[in-house]
Amino acid sequence: MPRPFRFGVDLLTPSSAKEWRAKCRRAEDLGYDVILVPDHLGMIAPFPALAAAAEATERPRLGTYVLNAGFWNPALLARDVATTDALASGRLELGLGTGYVQAEHEAAGLPYGSPRERVDQLRHTVAELERLLGSPEHLPRPAQPRVPLLIGGNGDRMLRLTAEYADIASFTCRRPVPGSTTGQLMPLTPAELDERIVRYEKFAAERAARAEPAELNVLIQLVAVTEDRERALQPLVDRLPELPMEQALDMPIALVGTVEQITAQVRAQRERYGFSYLTVLEPFMEEFAPVMEALRGE
């Protein structure tokens, strides 16, 4: 029996208090299950934004998508997580990653480190959060007995860490462009993603038995409801000449076509990869709504 679909929207744009609350209420009205915020310089600060979202809404869960571990001291992060979960009446989901934008770390005066060092730092952060928030003596206390943990990444060490700790395993389906300091990413091919999913499942099988397997999440980069799929994808293919159109049409990060075609694609991707939790970016919040409605309850 496949896991039921869940849908999240990643809100990126700084807004006034009135605009932010209205945007969160709109996401709730459209039926999104999770309101998410990123962790980048130049965008909204995660925890104040989520506290305001909690005040403006009643139903959606609220999450970070994802925090850069190098920006956060674990003890201070545990305090903010517990406080925000309490203010949100137990609706928080915590997303963590290593961070991939070197220029942001440099602008903040924080060390960036090698890939190995960043994964080590994330592992330390996760372990400390488990220790602190799992202690009945830690104050403040979150509202939930355990705040669900999402970890995002593609490399072997990240997949192993995700399999060990995460309640939600998130796949961006992209990898950094070698040498980029500004966070440029290139998409994985469907075949490359197949290999990463198999690798994750191997690591997950090695973990001690848990109540249920982790939920698998994917970040959607493009949504276009259209009758001309190839025309909608052409700008992406033009930027990535090594990506043939037939592969672009099959990429899970691009949902392009009629509502019927997109819903069929989403169902097929749940069958192929296990993705039941889909996150779209703010610019596609409205466009994705009819797709979400067609899949509701499946």
The pLDDT, as a whole number, for residue 212 is 78
Q: 49: domain range?
A: 6-220+273-295
In a domain, 253, yes or no: no
Nearby residues of 238 by Cβ (< 8 Å), 6 or more positions away = none
Spell out the long-range contacts of 190-196 with Cβ–Cβ below 8 A and sequence spacing 24 or more. 190/247, 190/250, 190/251, 190/252, 193/252, 193/273, 194/272, 194/273, 196/154, 196/159, 196/171
DSSP class of 78: H
The pLDDT, as a whole number, for residue 235 is 82
| Phi, psi values for residue 92, rounded to 5° | -80, 140
CATH number at residue 291: 3.20.20.30
Q: What pTM does this model have?
A: 0.95
In a domain, 159, yes or no: yes
The pLDDT, as a whole number, for residue 56 is 98
In a domain, 264, yes or no: no
In a domain, 52, yes or no: yes
In a domain, 263, yes or no: no
Asked if 92 and 81 touch (Cβ cutoff 8 Å), the reply is: yes
Number of domains composing the chain: 1
In a domain, 111, yes or no: yes
Q: What angle do CA 275, 219, 290 make, to 5 degrees?
A: 80
The pLDDT, as a whole number, for residue 174 is 67
Asked if 64 and 46 touch (Cβ cutoff 8 Å), the reply is: yes
In a domain, 85, yes or no: yes
In a domain, 128, yes or no: yes
Spell out the per-residue pLDDT of the chain, length 298, in tens: 889 999 999 999 999 999 999 999 999 999 999 999 999 999 999 999 999 999 999 999 999 999 999 999 999 999 999 999 999 999 999 999 999 889 999 999 999 999 999 999 999 999 999 999 999 999 999 999 999 999 998 899 999 999 999 999 999 876 666 776 775 667 777 888 899 999 999 999 887 655 578 999 999 999 999 999 999 988 878 877 777 888 888 888 899 999 999 999 999 999 999 999 999 999 999 999 999 999 999 9
How far apart are alpha carbons 88 and 143 in whole angstroms?
A: 8
